[in-house]
Chain A
């Protein structure tokens, strides 16, 4: 399916995409995990993760991207992200109040240092990344169905 010359863009675009798409995904994960230390965080990292899949869809066509994350998996993962954020907020009641940071704080400027903020960033990035991918997928499907008519 990937090497089908009829779908997607030219050979140059496909080769460059194959080289860069993993790096883009890795950079998004880096931004998410370092959200409490440096600029970025859940939203920015989630957008970069979604853009790596959008890049795949633009270069190889819709079917390759859907084979990585299908429509149902996308909507399920989006709900999991929202529920994860809510449960992190509710865990705060163990320490006294909503969104209370109950986990170990650790040393300042270390990767595992800010308690529940790292987990919240992961939840937000899941929600934003898969949600943005789902929006793009919905627009592509909408255009495809209007062409068939």
Chain B
């Protein structure tokens, strides 16, 4: 239970970065922290006590493996997160190209 609460705290750190920071680059970093906290939460849901990685190996009994389904889901989620990050960074570069600043409060005042 403590681990889930720590995941929630990590999520809140990311949310603080997205909502409260003015620099676009810091907002993107906050978005990344949110994404990784969710991935961590999913992997923790599939964990069992003293479990080992769900990989079949030579001369080993198949017992007490952790749940492989959230891990497959998180792998897909990481790929989607990569695409989102690339898209957001390209939008940030275009904004810097047009307005000459990363500060969201100054973007409006320059050219409207």
The residues of A with any CB-CB pair to B shorter than 8 Å are 38-39, 43, 109, 132, 135, 138-139, 142-143, 146, 149
Given known pairs A43-B79, A146-B93, the reply for A135 and B55 (CB within 8 Å) is no
A-B pairs with beta carbons under 8 Å apart, 9 shown: A39-B55, A43-B75, A135-B86, A138-B90, A139-B90, A139-B93, A142-B93, A143-B93, A146-B93
Given known pairs A38-B55, A39-B55, A109-B58, the reply for A139 and B86 (CB within 8 Å) is yes
Note all chain A residues with C-beta closer than 8 A to B94.
Answer: 142
Closest to A136 in B: B86
CB < 8 Å: which of A39, A43, A143, A146 contacts B53? A39
B96 at the interface (CB under 8 A from A): yes
Interface size class of B (residues with CB under 8 A): 10 to 19
A106 to B86, CA, bound (A): 41
The residues of B with any CB-CB pair to A shorter than 8 Å are 53, 55, 58, 75, 79, 82, 86, 89-90, 93-94, 96-97
A142 to B90, CA, bound (A): 8
Given known pairs A38-B55, A39-B53, the reply for A146 and B75 (CB within 8 Å) is no
A39 to B72, CA, bound (A): 12
A138 to B82, CA, bound (A): 15
Contact yes or no, A139 B96, CB < 8 A: no
Contact yes or no, A146 B79, CB < 8 A: no
Note all chain B residues with C-beta closer than 8 A to A43.
Answer: 75, 79
Note all chain B residues with C-beta closer than 8 A to A149.
Answer: 97
Chain A nearest CB, measured from B95 CB (Å): 10
15 new A-B pairs (CB below 8 Å) besides A43-B75, A43-B79, A146-B97? Answer: A38-B55, A39-B53, A109-B58, A132-B82, A135-B86, A139-B86, A139-B89, A139-B90, A139-B93, A142-B90, A142-B93, A142-B94, A142-B97, A143-B93, A146-B96
Chain A nearest CB, measured from B45 CB (Å): 20
Chain A nearest CB, measured from B52 CB (Å): 12
Chain A nearest CB, measured from B78 CB (Å): 8
A43 to B75, CA, bound (A): 9
Note all chain B residues with C-beta closer than 8 A to A139.
Answer: 86, 89-90, 93
